[in-house]
Structure 1
Amino acid sequence: MSHGKQLTLYTHKSGPNGWRVAYVLEELGLTYESVYLDIPSGEHKRAPYTDINPNGRIPALIDHHNGDFTIWESGAIIVYLIDKYDTAKRISVADEKERYHLLQWLFFQTSGQGPYFGQLFWFMRYHPEKVPSAIERYQKEILRVFSVLDGVLAKAPGGYLVGGKPTVADLSFLPWNDIAIRFGFEGVEGVDIPKQYPALYAWHQRLLEREPVKKLLAVQAKFAQEGA
């Protein structure tokens, strides 16, 4: 593979965790190549990819300008990128206490929002048996996360989670929220998100208007049209 680009991102055309890393790469203006793994064929579960990420999940990142440094897990990748490349603090923060708040939200996304959406997606679409109690649990957890975000955002300076400006803390929530808010993910059908969670909805709309986000949303739309 040519290393003309600074970084290589191993991802998937519809995988939310890969897209949240891509948003950060775009926001920082870094040059990168996306390698879209064939998940249905199990490409992510065998070598050579498991030599890069032994956990067999996406995403993973190789930084060719840092000795081919390799890192996986989307939250860890995002922290690496802002620590190394966001010296101007465009989408991160300088204040020590605010930095810990930023990490707090990143951990909340990776331990809360992402897994709840992922488990609901699994039980509604792929689990061989219908398990109503599991579906109900994860539906309620998603709405609980929405409530947490909405309550905080309603009082937050600038309407953003940390530092009164958009940061990786905000961007990390965007992919899964977009599935629910714009595309009516079946787990939250019947929920009037703009009415019930107005601060969250307004926040999400502001994030969608960012040029790096628009660029990648167009790529995702193209993949969707192609049936990826």
Structure 2
Amino acid sequence: MTKPIKVHMCPAGPNPWKVVIVLEELGVPYEVNSFPFQEVKSKPFTDLNPNGRAPAIEDPNTGITLWETGAIIQYIIEVYDTNHVLSYSNLKERSLCNQYLAFQISGQGPYFGQAGWFNVLHPEKLPSAIERYNTEIKRVLGVLETVLDGKKWLVGDNITFADLAFSTWNDRIDSVLLCAPEAKFDGFPNVKEWHERMISRPSWKVCMGKRSQLMDEQGLLSNGMPKGISNIAEYEVKIKADAEATARI
């Protein structure tokens, strides 16, 4: 019997849910260790991931611990998708899936994350940085729009891990760009339809239900900030105060 994979995460971020949705789609058992963002740079988590970024996984079935979502997803596919539910067996399609996963982790994730930082979290507004990263979001969406022309999925006729890897960051575009939810895919109809196909799947609903529960348990807003906190400067003050209070106990 397959033992559950332990997924260590801060629930607010998009990256942990990329891993969880792949596990859900494959029906691989897992359990979540959810912890506050302020603990990501300290032990015991940094014993698992010295880079201090979530998620990380521990697989008791193989004894392997991994961090970095691209590596984790490729590992899950190699070990647990032997029936190719979210992948292909032939060289061309396998390589194309890995290509798009690389694009997600090198293009979409970093640029969308920086846009979110400068639009929402940075304590002062820097118009040049905001313009740069907002433009990069549109560029990445433009690439996907072109690739998806006349297609339902990025590779072949079936959904793969490559598609799912884009879903969580694309779902945040409105909160990153500070636009209306219905406007986040304006000008990118292929991307919009593709995204809607993914978020209509049972796996997505399960993941977002778990995220909402964990966020509520930690008293977090949808953007990951604690309730009552409006920017990263205020959050850093809170983190410092909480650490000092804990040290006095």
Common fold by TM > 0.5: yes
> Residue 224 of structure 2 aligns with which residue?
none
Displacement of 1:12 after TM fit?
1.3
TM-score (norm 1): 0.89
| Cα distance change on mapping 1:64 and 1:13 into 2, 3 Å | same
CA distance in 1, matches of 2:88, 2:35: 33
Letter matched to residue 168 of structure 1: F
1:64 to 51, 57, 60: 60
Say if 2:133 is the partner of 1:173: no
Which of the residues 175, 189, 192 maps onto 1:198?
Answer: 189
Residue 123 of structure 2: SS of its match in structure 1? coil
Give runs of aligned pairs for residues 1-228 of structure 1, distance below 5 A. Answer: 5-39=3-37, 41=38, 43-67=39-63, 69-156=64-151, 159-180=152-173, 184-187=174-177, 189=179, 192-224=183-215, 227-228=219-220
Gaps of 5+ in 2: 221-249
Identity %: 45
For residues 63-92 of structure 1, give each alpha carbon's deviation from its aligned partner in whole angstroms, at most 9, with x where no partner exists: 00112x101000100000000110000011
Match of 2:148, SS? helix
Q: Any idea what the Cα deviations from partners look like across 1:91-121, whole Å, max 9, x if unmatched? A: 1111101111101100100011111111111
1:206, 1:59 → 2: CA distance? 25
CA distance in 2, matches of 1:206, 1:125: 28
CA contact (8 A) 2:115 2:176 kept: no
Three-state SS of the structure 1 residue aligned to 2:52 is coil
Length, aligned pairs only: 217
* Cα-to-partner distance string for 1:179-215 (whole Å, 9 max, x where unaligned): 12xxx22516278445511111011111011111111
The whole-number CA distance in structure 1 between the counterparts of 2:36 and 2:58 is 19
Q: Distance in 1 between matches of 2:178 and 2:144?
A: 16
Tell me, in whole angstroms, the C-alpha distance in 2 between the residues paired with 1:169 and 1:16.
15
Measured on the aligned residues, the alpha-carbon RMSD in Å equals: 1.8
User: For 1:27-63, what per-residue CA distance to the aligned partner results, in whole angstroms no more than 9, with x for missing partners?
Assistant: 1111111111211x3x111122111101010010110
On the 8 A contact 1:21/1:78 being kept in 2, the answer is: yes
Structure 1 segments of 4 or more deviating over 3 A? 190-195, 221-227
Letter in 1 for 2:12: S
Q: Quick check: 1:139–1:188 contact (8 Å CA) kept in 2?
A: no
- Specify the code of the residue in structure 2 equivalent to 1:51: D
Mapped contact 1:124–1:130 kept (Cα < 8 A): yes
Amino acid paired to 1:222: Q
**2:9–2:54 CA contact under 8 A, matched in 1:** yes
Q: CA deviation at 1:25?
A: 0.8
SS at match of 1:56: coil
Q: Which amino acid aligns with 2:122?
A: H
Asked if the contact 2:4–2:28 (Cα under 8 Å) also holds between the matched residues in 1, the reply is yes
Q: CA separation in 1, counterparts of 2:35 and 2:190?
A: 35
